[in-house]
């Protein structure tokens, strides 16, 4: 919202410097983004009169222009030709500063001296239009500083408007806030109308078919208007506020819009078929050419303003070209209405149209400000374009809209704010905002006006009190020692730990979209999914049931960009059907690896495989101190021989595996991709069962390495389990350290080497005890696995 300061001062007395006023508004909750001084970079540009236009002897596209100033005549070279003798134009004198020229100097152009420069609107910073020279008002005085003529001596506040405050998208609304912040009174305009003998009912009829979409529609008629321009001072104000002047009638509606915050629209009555206005829903397939020249196909959900034959405007968004005011207009139908915000929002988004009207209607205009806005616009049209207002008005308003009372308890306000504001101060603050409070016993009651639909509950009134009386009056206090601020919940701390653990394992965290398409379901194992009722496209029509589709897609993108060692993880929620209104949203942790490792001097490059992803899973489980078992499974989307489920107490909590060859072929990638996924909610519950840690051994361990030859069919895991059983309680750990196949062990045999760690918790273990336990392990392996000890 742009609010020119001189315009604002018409409604409220503001004597302070602009920066101080901006600070006061910001302190009261009306954030001033910028204080702009129009024309601050423009200097040395004055009003001149065109005397004669001559062809340039050395260039067909240039002309020589003789101009008269208050100090004499000058000749300038110009490339534009949109002026004639007698026109007043802006002339930049040598030494002047304009947009694009910091210091203009007289110079020769194609052999002719240009002792100045004629300026376009773009060079003065008024608009982006540089197609021709700006023509000034005929009554501009020669030699006068152009900044004053075109309104470049204006200070403009640019305000950030929160979505719940449509009332301050108007000069009156901003003035009301300014008056409350400085303790002055607001002055409202009082439009005066002198209706003619013709009644509005004899000129037009209005019918509202959709009362829900249009709870109020008011129409007035002005006859005998003459097409022309609005006054220069009005054009300057509109331009400073960010609206391009068009014509007297249109400018009057825009002027009233900026003052009141209520959008209006003017129709050419003689171009309205049947002289009938109908507010209805569009019929599917109907078309309208809007005033921007675009043909738009309407949806049956669009609210439209129609005549007896066809739509003439998209209600609250944009008018149609067929009924717009033009040079031939003599009779105007003025629309001032209140439309359902949700309907306007949907139509605006559907057609990709954002206008001054839609931005206000979709936030919620004032249904009881309709008449005032219409009166102001009518008076301006008559003043600027002539004509006569028909007597009466057609006001379709079957159910008057009003807000419910809201009660403020002063003591409650003091408790919430922590400030000792008096009852009288609170009453005065609400009164300065125009809320008309009433004292009822120990309570203050307010019936919010309909321009303040954001005031619903007591806390809203408390916020208004704090804004007006000043946030700086609320004392700063520190929380007592028994209150802890900024502490994460235990589950959030564990999620953070999971992220740190996976990052520490060499994986990079990614974020993937929660939307997938049917083509991604095979990566999730083709589960039941939640579909969107109105998807953007087929590729984003489902809510993800798993993190794997997004992770695999990220791996594929990395491969395509020649990043051939990819290690990624993600922690996020997925969505599963629940049979209820809302889906189940489990928290999952997923990871995906693919490509080849970086070659090192001591280790050749190799392709990442199932054991790499198994290692990641084990690191995560170990960090949470959870013991789990890995069991072979055959399950999509995994390789039939390279996948495992992860279980805790016979309950599956995760899964790892290599993607099947069919999926790798579909993805068209050069390397295998291995993935894993945990039900993180369940893991965190398991972690919560025990927070205790085992005490580190105080006595030294005895380390012994053994090697055995076993049949090729023997599994290292089974051998490890046997060794743990045979080693007894002093066997602290066992780790496979080597695998060998070759001539020294024979065909059908393999050699496995293990590192054994023995320790007693109560004393130092003797070598004899350790060797006895080692021999017991050898005996069990020979007996159970046909093993042969190797030296």
Same domain, 600 and 542: yes
Domain span including residue 139: 43-149
Q: What CATH number is given to the structural domain containing 73?
A: 2.40.50.140
φ/ψ of 565, rounded to 5, equals: -130, 105
Same domain, 260 and 364: yes
Residue at which a domain ends, from 396, 430, 445: 396
> CA–CA separation, 14 vs 36, rounded Å?
17
Residue at which a domain ends, from 396, 420, 436: 396
Q: What CATH number is given to the structural domain containing 466?
A: 3.30.56.10
Same domain, 214 and 350: yes
Q: Interior CA angle at 116 toward 110 and 118, to 5°?
A: 95
Q: What CATH number is given to the structural domain containing 592?
A: 3.30.930.10
The answer to whether position 188 is within a domain reads no
> CA–CA separation, 735 vs 756, rounded Å?
7
Same domain, 238 and 365: yes
Show the tokens assigned to 603: 């280790």
Beta bridge partners of 736: 754
Q: What pTM does this model have? A: 0.61
Q: What CATH number is given to the structural domain containing 772?
A: 3.30.70.380
φ/ψ of 296, rounded to 5, equals: -120, 135
Selection from 582, 607, 586, 611 nearest residue 597 by Cα: 607
Selection from 381, 399, 397 nearest residue 389 by Cα: 381
Same domain, 509 and 636: yes
Same domain, 320 and 432: no
Q: Which helix (H) or strand (E) holds 338?
A: strand 331-338
Same domain, 525 and 551: yes
Show the tokens assigned to 413: 């306000």
The answer to whether position 482 is within a domain reads no
Q: What is the pLDDT of residue 601?
A: 65
Dihedral, CA of residue 115, residue 119, residue 123 and residue 128, to nearest 10:
-150
Same domain, 207 and 62: no
Beta bridge partners of 774: none
Q: What's the number of domains the chain is made of?
A: 6
The answer to whether position 364 is within a domain reads yes
Q: Which helix (H) or strand (E) holds 468?
A: helix 458-469
10-residue mean pLDDT profile of the chain (791 residues): values are 91 89 85 86 93 93 95 93 94 90 86 93 79 88 90 87 90 92 88 92 96 96 94 86 90 96 96 96 92 93 95 95 94 96 94 91 94 96 95 95 94 92 94 92 94 93 92 80 65 90 95 93 90 90 95 95 95 92 93 90 84 94 91 93 93 95 94 95 73 67 93 91 92 91 90 93 91 94 92 71
| Strand 88-97, strand 542-543: pairing | unpaired
Beta bridge partners of 3: 157
The answer to whether position 478 is within a domain reads no
User: Secondary structure of the chain: what % helix, strand, coil (to 5)?
Assistant: 30, 30, 40
Q: What CATH number is given to the structural domain containing 382?
A: 3.50.40.10
Q: What is the pLDDT of residue 154?
A: 85
The radius of gyration of the chain's CA atoms, rounded to the nearest angstrom, is 40
The answer to whether position 476 is within a domain reads no
Query: Per this entry, what is the length of the chain?
Result: 791
Same domain, 540 and 674: yes
Residue at which a domain ends, from 417, 436, 470: 470
> CA–CA separation, 63 vs 605, rounded Å?
75
The answer to whether position 669 is within a domain reads yes
Q: What is the pLDDT of residue 478?
A: 73
CB proximity list for 135: less than 8 A, separation 6 or greater: 82, 83, 87, 88, 89
593 neighbors 567 (Cβ within 8 angstroms): yes
Q: What is the pLDDT of residue 391?
A: 95
The answer to whether position 667 is within a domain reads yes
Q: What is the pLDDT of residue 694?
A: 57
Q: How far is CA 130 from CA 79, 99, 276, 545, in A?
A: 11, 11, 42, 56
| Strand 303-306, strand 117-118: pairing | unpaired
Same domain, 383 and 499: no
Same domain, 531 and 662: yes
CA terminus-to-terminus distance, the chain? 87
Here the contacts of 342-350 (C-beta below 8 Å, separation 24 or greater) are 343/213, 343/301, 343/303, 343/315, 343/316, 344/303, 344/315, 344/316, 344/317, 346/301, 347/299, 347/301, 347/302, 347/303, 347/314, 347/315, 347/316, 347/317, 348/317, 350/299, 350/301, 350/302
> CA–CA separation, 54 vs 488, rounded Å?
79
Reduce the secondary structure of 42-96 to three states and give it as a string: CEEEEEEEEEEEEECCCCCCCEEEEEEECCEEEEEEECCCCCCCCCEEEEEEEEE
Outline where 520-609 has alpha helix (H).
548-560
> CA–CA separation, 695 vs 732, rounded Å?
13
DSSP 613-632: HHHHHHHHHHHTT---EEEE
The answer to whether position 555 is within a domain reads yes
Same domain, 561 and 451: no
Show the tokens assigned to 659: 């993607």
> CA–CA separation, 264 vs 240, rounded Å?
20
Cis, bond preceding 521 (omega within 30 deg of 0)? no
Q: Interior CA angle at 33 toward 29 and 36, to 5°?
A: 130
Show the tokens assigned to 279: 């507010």
Selection from 249, 261, 267, 238 nearest residue 167 by Cα: 261
Alpha-carbon torsion (642, 643, 649, 653), positive or negative: positive
């Amino acid at each position: 919202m742009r609010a020119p300061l001189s315009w604002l001062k018409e409604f409220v007395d503001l004597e302070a410097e602009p920066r101080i006023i901006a600070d006061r508004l910001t302190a009261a909750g009306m954030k001033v983004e910028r204080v702009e001084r129009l024309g601050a970079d423009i200097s040395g540009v004055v009003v001149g009169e065109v005397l004669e236009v001559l062809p340039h002897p050395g260039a067909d596209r240039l002309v020589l222009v003789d101009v008269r100033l208050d100090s004499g005549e000058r000749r300038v070279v110009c490339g534009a030709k949109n002026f004639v003798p007698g026109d007043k134009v802006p002339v930049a004198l040598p030494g002047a500063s304009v947009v694009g020229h910091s210091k203009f100097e007289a110079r020769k152009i194609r052999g002719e001296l240009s002792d100045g420069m004629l300026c376009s609107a773009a060079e003065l910073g008024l608009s982006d239009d540089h197609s021709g020279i700006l023509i000034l008002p005929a009554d501009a005085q020669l030699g006068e500083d152009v900044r004053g003529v075109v309104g470049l001596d204006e200070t403009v506040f640019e305000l950030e408007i929160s979505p719940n405050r449509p009332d301050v998208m108007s000069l009156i609304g901003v003035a009301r806030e300014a008056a409350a912040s400085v303790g002055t009174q607001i002055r409202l305009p009082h439009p005066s109308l002198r209706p003619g003998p013709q009644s509005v009912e004899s000129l037009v009829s209005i019918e509202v078919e959709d009362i829900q979409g249009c709870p109020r529609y008011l129409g007035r008629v002005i006859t005998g208007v003459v097409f022309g321009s609005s006054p220069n001072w009005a054009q300057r104000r509109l331009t400073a506020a960010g609206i391009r002047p068009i014509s007297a009638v249109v400018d009057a509606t825009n002027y009233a819009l900026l003052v009141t915050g209520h959008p209006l629209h003017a129709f050419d009555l003689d171009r309205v078929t049947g002289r009938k206005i109908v507010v209805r829903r569009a019929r599917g397939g109907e078309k309208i050419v809007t005033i921007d020249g675009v043909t738009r196909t309407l949806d049956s959900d669009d609210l439209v303003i129609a005549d007896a034959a066809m739509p003439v405007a998209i209600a609250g968004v944009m008018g149609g070209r067929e009924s717009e005011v033009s040079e031939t207009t003599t009779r105007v139908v003025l629309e001032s209405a209140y439309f359902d915000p949700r309907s306007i929002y949907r139509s605006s988004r559907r057609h990709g149209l954002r206008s001054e009207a839609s931005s206000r209607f979709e936030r919620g205009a004032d249904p009881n400000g309709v008449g005032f806005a219409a009166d102001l616009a009518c008076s301006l049209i008559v003043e600027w374009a002539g004509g006569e207002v028909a007597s009466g008005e057609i006001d379709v308003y079957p159910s008057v809209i009003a807000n419910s009372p809201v009660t403020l308890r002063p003591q409650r306000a003091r408790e919430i704010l922590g400030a000792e504001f008096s009852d009288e101060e609170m009453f005065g603050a609400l009164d300065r905002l125009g809320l008309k409070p009433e004292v009822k016993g120990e309570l203050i009651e307010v019936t919010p006006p309909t321009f303040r639909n954001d005031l619903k509950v007591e806390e809203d009134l408390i916020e208004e009190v704090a804004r007006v009386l000043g946030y700086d009056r609320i004392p700063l206090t520190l929380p007592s020692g028994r209150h802890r601020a900024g502490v994460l919940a235990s589950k959030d701390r564990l999620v953070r730990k999971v992220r740190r653990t996976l990052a520490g394992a060499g994986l990079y965290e990614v974020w993937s979209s929660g939307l997938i398409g049917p083509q991604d379901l095979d990566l999730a194992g083709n589960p039941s999914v939640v579909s969107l009722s109105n998807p953007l496209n087929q590729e984003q029509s489902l809510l993800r049931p798993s993190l794997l589709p997004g992770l695999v897609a990220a791996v594929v993108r990395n491969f395509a960009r020649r990043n051939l060692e990819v290690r990624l993880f993600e922690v996020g929620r997925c969505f599963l059907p629940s049979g209820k209104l809302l889906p189940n949203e489990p928290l999952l942790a997923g990871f995906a690896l693919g490509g080849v490792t970086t070659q090192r001097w001591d280790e050749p490059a190799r392709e990442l495989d199932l054991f790499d992803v198994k290692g990641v899973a084990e690191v995560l489980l170990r960090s949470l101190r959870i013991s789990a078992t890995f069991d072979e499974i055959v399950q999509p989307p995994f390789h039939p021989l390279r996948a495992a489920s992860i279980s805790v107490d016979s309950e599956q909590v995760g899964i790892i595996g290599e993607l099947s060859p069919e999926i790798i072929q579909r993805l068209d990638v050069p390397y295998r991709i291995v993935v894993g996924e945990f039900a993180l909610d369940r893991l965190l519950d398991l972690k919560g069962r025990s927070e205790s840690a085992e005490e580190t051994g105080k006595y030294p361990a005895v380390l012994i390495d053994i090697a055995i030859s076993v049949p090729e069919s023997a599994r290292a895991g089974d051998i490890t389990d046997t060794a743990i059983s045979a080693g007894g309680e002093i066997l602290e750990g066992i780790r496979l350290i080597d695998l060998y196949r070759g001539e020294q062990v024979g065909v059908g045999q393999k050699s496995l080497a293990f590192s054994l760690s023995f320790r007693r918790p109560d004393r130092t273990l003797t070598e004899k005890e350790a060797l006895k336990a080692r021999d017991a392990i050898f005996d069990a392996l020979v007996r159970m696995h046909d093993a042969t000890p190797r030296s």
